[in-house]
Amino acid sequence: MTTRVGFVGLGNIGRPMALRLAAAEGIELTVYDVVPEPVAELVAAGARSAASVGALADSSDVVCVMVRDDDQVRTVAADVGDGAVLVVHSTVAPGTPAELEAGGSTVLDAPVSGGPMGAAEGTLAVMVGGSDEAFVLARPALDAMSSYVVHAGPLGAGTRMKLARNLMHFVAFTAATEAQRLAEACGLDLVELGRVVRHTDAITGGPGAIMHRDTTAPIVEGDFWRGVFEHVAALGEKDLGLAVELAEGLDVDVPLARLSLERLRKGLGLG
């Protein structure tokens, strides 16, 4: 069967996502953007162009939206109406998907993780909230653009999962700036430090390596994870303590490291 997909928003991530759709079997793609160049590229790749969002929606079963913000999503949703499933890939406020559905649209909130590189390679993760029926209808398009799709729950669940994921992402970025300041004060090569981080995170899984439990409740004695996380905590407290001591000697401020030293054990569920 062929799934008729419309795609609105051909920016840094939307354009490569749409190109994956254009190359996919079983997808009939129509695109719209206010900028003509990416539209022409998609047409050359086999898509059709639409003169408006409304015209695109009229020939689509599923309309994927990757625009800048909530207001632009609302504008697109108003033009799509109730004739197609609206799949919102933009990261929006938690209440926006329900607001759109209350306005008459059938909505999936389906933010993505993986950036332009993941979009180009088809390796995005897509986190979806919405009904089973809408999810099934949109699934062929989602699979064509990604390598990992999770139906996170009812409408809004995809957005909430994306916000939780990005909380970790940008807190980790801030921690990386502390590490860079410490390394710079030590006279180290920051570019090489970055290479080491990316190399080892690819092996260990980075922060996701501790995310296997289905609860954040304290870990009871005898639980398998108790021993694992006791080991993690012991290593973390040792290394964080040494890093903070090093930073103090170099007069480098590392507030996240201090906070992590204070909260690591409890955060792991060890009390």
Looking at the annotation, which residues are catalytic? 162
φ/ψ of residue 150, rounded to 5: -125, 125
CA–CA dist 149, 61 (Å, integer): 19
Q: Beta strand 112-113 with 62-65: parallel, antiparallel or unpaired? A: unpaired
**Alpha helices per DSSP H over the chain:** 14-23, 36-44, 53-58, 70-80, 96-102, 115-121, 132-145, 157-185, 190-204, 224-250, 255-267
State which amino acid sits at residue 33: D
- Residue located via tokens 């030590």: 186
- Region at 118 (left for phi over 0; alpha for psi -120 to 50; beta for the rest): alpha
- 27 contacts 3 by C-beta, under 8 angstroms: yes
CA–CA dist 161, 169 (Å, integer): 12
CB environment 223-234: b (16+ within 10 A), e (fewer): eebbeebeebbe
Tell me the C-alpha to C-alpha distance, in Å, between residue 146 and each of 18, 36, 37, 161. Answer: 11, 25, 24, 17
- 94 contacts 160 by C-beta, under 8 angstroms: yes
